[in-house]
Amino acid sequence: MNEYDSNRILDLTKKINYTLTINIKDSDCYVLNTCHIREKATDKVYHEVGRVKKEFRYKKKPIVLIVGCVAQAEGEVLLKKEKYIDAVVGPQSYHQINKIILDIENKNTKINSTEFEVIEKFDQLNLVKNSNSKISSFLTIQEGCDKFCKFCVVPYTRGPEYSRSYPEIISEAKQLVDNGSQEIILLGQNVNAYNFKNKRLSDLLYSLSEIKNLERIRYTTSHPKDFTDDLIEAHGECKKLMPLLHLPVQSGSTKILHNMNRNHTIEEYLEIIDKLKEKKSSIKFSSDFIIAYPGETNDDFEKTVSLMKQVDFINSYSFIFSARPGTPAANLKKIDEKIAKERLTIFQRVADEIKKKYRNKLVNSITNVLFENNARSTDKYFGRDEYFNSVIVNSNENLAGKIRNVKIDSCNQNTLFGKVILESKPNEYAA
User: Does 3 sit near ligand SAM (CB under 6 A)?
Assistant: no
User: Does 4 sit near ligand SAM (CB under 6 A)?
Assistant: no
Task: Report the nearest approach of ligand SF4 to the CB of residue 18 (Å).
Answer: 31
CA–CA distance, 173 with 186 (Å, rounded to integer): 10
Residue 148 contact, options ligand SAM, ligand SF4, none, Cβ 5-8 Å cut-off depending on partner type:
ligand SF4
Cβ neighbors of 264 (< 8 A, separation 6 or more) are 224, 225, 257
User: Does 402 sit near ligand SAM (CB under 6 A)?
Assistant: no
In 12-149, DSSP assigns E strands to: 29-34, 63-68, 87-89, 111-113, 136-140, 142-143
User: Does 155 sit near ligand SF4 (CB under 6 A)?
Assistant: yes
Residue 155 contact, options ligand SF4, ligand SAM, none, Cβ 5-8 Å cut-off depending on partner type:
ligand SF4
User: Does 154 sit near ligand SF4 (CB under 6 A)?
Assistant: yes
Cβ atoms of 164 and 182 closer than 8 Å: no
Partners of 416 in beta bridges: 391, 411
Task: Give how far the C-alpha of residue 405 lies from the chain's centroid of Cα atoms, to the nearest Å.
Answer: 27
CB atoms within 10 A of CB 237: 15
Task: Report the nearest approach of ligand SAM to the CB of residue 308 (Å).
Answer: 14
Pick the piece of the chain touching ligand SF4 (CB under 6 A) from 127-135, 141-149, 269-277, 338-346: 141-149
User: Does 295 sit near ligand SF4 (CB under 6 A)?
Assistant: no
With CA atoms as reference, report the closest residue to 156 among 94, 70, 95.
70
User: Does 152 sit near ligand SF4 (CB under 6 A)?
Assistant: yes
Give, in order, the Cα–Cα distances in Å from 219 to each of 92, 152, 311: 21, 21, 20
Residue 82 contact, options ligand SAM, ligand SF4, none, Cβ 5-8 Å cut-off depending on partner type:
none
User: Does 154 sit near ligand SAM (CB under 6 A)?
Assistant: yes
CA–CA distance, 310 with 317 (Å, rounded to integer): 17
Task: Report the nearest approach of ligand SAM to the CB of residue 252 (Å).
Answer: 13
Q: Which is nearer to ligand SF4, 155 or 180 (CB)?
A: 155
Among 89, 149, 276, 308, binds ligand SF4 (CB under 6 A): 149
User: Does 236 sit near ligand SF4 (CB under 6 A)?
Assistant: no
Q: Which amino acid does the sequence have at 90? A: G
Among 30, 116, 321, 381, binds ligand SAM (CB under 6 A): 321
User: Does 223 sit near ligand SAM (CB under 6 A)?
Assistant: yes
Cβ atoms of 114 and 148 closer than 8 Å: no
CA–CA distance, 42 with 36 (Å, rounded to integer): 8
User: Does 148 sit near ligand SF4 (CB under 6 A)?
Assistant: yes
Task: Sketch the per residue contact string, 205 through 234, with ligand SF4: x for CB under 6 A, - otherwise.
Answer: ------------------x-----------
Strand, helix or coil at 78?
A: helix
Judged by CB under 6 A, the chain residues 275 through 304 that form the site for ligand SAM are 288, 290
Judged by CB under 6 A, the chain residues 202 through 221 that form the site for ligand SAM are 221
With CA atoms as reference, report the closest residue to 127 among 159, 172, 163, 157.
172
Q: Which is nearer to ligand SF4, 145 or 375 (CB)?
A: 145
Cis bond leading into 221, ω under 30°?
yes
User: Does 189 sit near ligand SF4 (CB under 6 A)?
Assistant: yes
> Burial level of 414, CB count in 10 A (0-12/13-18/19+)?
exposed
Judged by CB under 6 A, the chain residues 323 through 362 that form the site for ligand SAM are 324
Residue 324 contact, options ligand SAM, ligand SF4, none, Cβ 5-8 Å cut-off depending on partner type:
ligand SAM
Give, in order, the Cα–Cα distances in Å from 223 to each of 51, 145, 288, 333: 38, 11, 11, 26
User: Does 152 sit near ligand SAM (CB under 6 A)?
Assistant: yes
Task: Report the nearest approach of ligand SF4 to the CB of residue 327 (Å).
Answer: 9
Which parts of this chain interact with ligand SF4 (CB under 6 A)? 145, 147-149, 152, 154-155, 189-190, 223
